[in-house]
Amino acid sequence: MTARRAGWRSAWIRLRDTGFGDALLALTLTLLAFVPTMSKIGAQIGDLPERPADLLGLGLTLAQTVPLAVRRRWPAGCLAIVASAFAGHQALGFATTFGSIGLYLALYSAGAHQIRFRGGLAAVASAGYLGLAVTLHRLGSPQGIADYLAFYLTLSVVWAVGNTVRTRRTAAALARRASAEAATAIERARIARELHDVVTHHVTAMVIQADAAQILLTSAPERAGAGLSAVSDTGRLALRELRHLLGVLEATGESATADRVPARGGITDLIDQARRAGQPVDYTEQGERRAQPMDMELAAYRVVQEALTNAMKHAPRMPTRILLRHNADHLEIAATTDGPGSPPAARRPRSEGGRGLAGLSARVRMLDGELVAGPRPEGGFEVRAVIPYPPVQE
């Protein structure tokens, strides 16, 4: 039932946008203008003696209804024609018809849909009404200033209602645009973070492995081949992760599949890669594994990846320990690298323009977790993350 209502609503919006709805409104109002029982309903000012209906009166009545077919497309033109026809209809003393309601609709449409020269249009309309009031007075209208002011106030309220609708519609459009821009910015930051995590780690490992192989070419040529093979393996691993990157960016929660992201099983690949690059790494996993969402798996992988990248960049060949502990309500990842005291500021891991550790911290916070990174009192550097398990869905 809901889907059917949504379908009807969508169809009506399409018809409205093509002008069909306005044309239907104009036709309906035109037909009602000639229903005798509704002749006393409508806009009226002046109270001049009634003039018998004729072709001129018929034309003025149609001019108050037919232009409503373009009230959204050309609101100012619609108002000009309808208001002029209404003024002529009243000044010539023709009997009121339901078609005079077109004045209210045209005025509302101008307030709601006119984009440019709104102030000028309001001024011209007010001047036109003043001219009509003066004309009616000279023609012997029994109505006084209070009557003309009351009718002008009614017209002003109709304009204000249309203007309010336009203001709210504009505010809603701006809010949707701001929301879309914010979503785009978030997605760009996410892409940049993923690219940083994938590329920086593997390129760092390849540079270290290539430097080691270059040294071995002169000192131990028989071992250089293994170093070059490590560079090749790292490059292939980087390409594989880059191929999966689009899938990772699109996957969220339960819609993700295990082969679209390097999950915890890939942590051992990171360890092996760091060891081949000459970084002594000790890996320990404690506790019992449990099923976790893709984004939690990916966050754990990225924490280890970033920690190893910083270790290879800022503390090469220093002992590094990776601990993955499965607790009752959270997953804990700890990475420590030995070193001679606190590293100098120039050697500390940097956020790299909102990525690196800063981007990783944002990723962990999105999972209601916490990431802490800094120098250890006894020397070296430590990265520690705590990510809570999501609540069990009953």
Q: What is the 3-state secondary structure (H, E, C) of 201-247?
A: HHHHHHHHHHHHHHHHHHHCHHHHHHHHHHHHHHHHHHHHHHHHHHH
The CATH T-level fold of domain 187-388 is Heat Shock Protein 90 (3.30.565)
Distance CA 238, CA 253 (A): 24
For residue range 230-267, what is the model confidence (pLDDT) as tens digits?
Answer: 777 777 766 666 666 666 555 544 444 444 455 445 78
For residue range 116-134, what is the model confidence (pLDDT) as tens digits?
Answer: 888 899 999 999 999 999 9
Residue 215: CA count within 13 A, CB half-sphere: 6
- 76-160-169 Cα angle (round to 5): 80
Residues 6+ apart with CB under 8 A from 319: 280, 282, 337, 338
Distance CA 248, CA 195 (A): 11
CB-based burial, 83-95: b 16+ in 10 Å, e otherwise: bebbbbbbbebbe
One-letter amino acid identity for 166?
R
CATH 3.30.565.10, the chain: domain bounds = 187-388
Distance CA 132, CA 144 (A): 13
Task: Say how many C-beta atoms besides its own lie within 10 A of residue 262's C-beta.
Answer: 21
Question: DSSP letter string over 281-313?
Answer: EEEEEES------HHHHHHHHHHHHHHHHHHHH
Beta strands at 381-388 and 330-337: parallel, antiparallel or unpaired: antiparallel
For residue range 60-97, what is the model confidence (pLDDT) as tens digits?
Answer: 999 999 999 999 889 999 999 999 999 999 999 888 88
Low pLDDT (below 50) residues in the chain: 252-260, 263-264, 341-354, 394
Residue 386, Ramachandran bin (φ over 0: left; ψ between -120 and 50: alpha; else beta): beta
**pLDDT value for 156:** 92
The helix (run of H) or strand (run of E) holding residue 371 is: strand 370-375
